[in-house]
Amino acid sequence: MVISNKPLRFILVALVACLPAMSFANSEKDAAHVQTEVAHKAVSEGHHEGGHAEPTDVKSKIKAFIGHHVLDSHDFTLTQDDETGKYYGFPLPVIIWDNGLHIFSSSKFNHGHAVAESNGNFYAINHHDGKIYRTDATGEITEDEKSGHPTNVRPLDFSITKTVVSIFAAALLMFWLFSSLAKSYAKNGGIASGAGRIFEPLVVYIRDEVAIPNIGEKHYKKYMSYLLTIFFFVLFLNIFGLTPLGINATGNLTITFSLAILTFLITNLTANKNYWGHIFWMPGVPKPMRIILAPIELLGVFIKPFSLMIRLYANIFAGHIVLMSIIGLMFIFKSWIGSSLSFGLSFVLSILEILVAFLQAYIFTMLSALYFGSAVEEHHHEEGAHH
């Protein structure tokens, strides 16, 4: 297996491809959803049992803004007027299972300020984590004194949230772009045309610089569909986080966990006997050492997807938190010097975030290809020759 030694080519291709998206970089990027202590602390600034008080000072407002927007949402709020208290956006369907199926519009929650009633049950959104809990008519959510977690019953939530909308949008966009690219090949004798041709260099790069060097000429084709899907899926979700829509699904630990699980399953379900032999009975190693190394190697099987999950989540989530915090300094300084410096720094970071969006998609794809390559690598060990 070989790691590609031409990252500069990828960066140049990525920068050219992302130039149209730079104009959409939003200074109010809302990292979409993720249950973390950072979010909990920020949101809890104005939270009280059974409801929440709106923060009054600028610093608290900035904390609350960041805290609310790193959580997933049951409605799509584009903007809001602080003076009139009006929200501009659209609700999303709420689908929960609580002793039966309940389907209603998220507008019943009034952006978390009201209690929703469905078939005699009452539900409220907890402002700590953005989740739906069963309550009484008052909407009170009680919390455990030690852990701080709600003690109310939490129904199974299958709602179409902002994250789900972004996933559907990325899937539809990919289907349209690459189906049109495939059709153009058939029509023009293998020559790309239309919108899909913009992404053709990236497709070729993934094949020639990621899949073939790390998996090998013999086996790379059966993994190409997954590698291309995972690369563009992560890329588009990352780019969505840089638009005024304020969506960032890859900053959600559950999303990165799901992607890592797919790589884990494909790696281990397609692995050959040499892969498992190197884990449980490593050739060329004294037999007593094999007994010691086998559990360590088996642990590594689970550590690999865990590292994929954490790396993507942490980089995207942390980048958005830092950027939003720097933007918030403009409202704290209230001077042309401080605001100008904050604006300049946030602009530079916005450009950097575009590169990070491509880079994280590349890293996830590259590591997946490395794992696939190790799973199908063919070894020809003469065990007796090592003793």
The 10s digit of each residue's pLDDT in 133-171 is: 999 988 888 888 888 788 889 999 999 988 899 999 999
Give the position of tokens 């990165």.
256
For residue 212, CA distances in Å to 139, 165, 269 come to 57, 34, 20
Average predicted confidence (pLDDT) for the chain: 78
Distances 164 to 32, 95, 101, 103, 129 between C-alpha atoms, Å: 11, 12, 19, 16, 17
Half-sphere exposure in the Cβ direction for 24 (13 Å, CA): 15
pLDDT at residue 31 greater than cutoff 70: no
Q: What is the DSSP string of 126-155?
A: -TTT--EEEE-TT----B-TTT--B-S---
pLDDT value of residue 242: 82
Alpha carbon of residue 26 to chain centroid: 18
Q: The whole model's pTM is what?
A: 0.77
pLDDT at residue 291 above 90? no
**At residue 115, what is the residue type?**
V
Tell me the CA distances in angstroms from 22 to 11, 80, 307, 349, one per residue in order.
15, 24, 29, 12
Residue 374: partners with Cβ closer than 8 Å, 6 or more residues away: 1, 267, 275
User: What is the spatial distance between Cα 352 and Cα 131, in angstroms, rounded to a whole number?
Assistant: 32
Domain ranges for the chain: 7-24+164-386, 37-69+74-160
Yes or no: say if 104 and 159 are a contact pair by the CB < 8 Å rule: no
pLDDT of residue 147: 80
Q: What are the pLDDT digits (tens) for 49-100?
A: 334 455 566 677 767 666 666 678 888 877 766 666 677 778 889 999 998 9
Residue 327 pLDDT exceeds 80: no
Could you give the CA distance from residue 342 to residue 38 in angstroms, rounded to a whole number? Answer: 22
Mean pLDDT in residue range 269-285: 84
Q: What is the pLDDT of residue 183?
A: 86
Neighbours of 150 (CB within 10 A): 19
Segment 267-290 mean pLDDT: 84
- Please give the structure tokens belonging to residue 317: 């989530």
Angle between helices 7-22 and 336-376 (to 10 degrees): 130
CA distance 313 to 292: 33
Residue with the two structure tokens 């907890």: 126
The rounded radius of gyration (Å) of the Cα atoms in the chain is 24
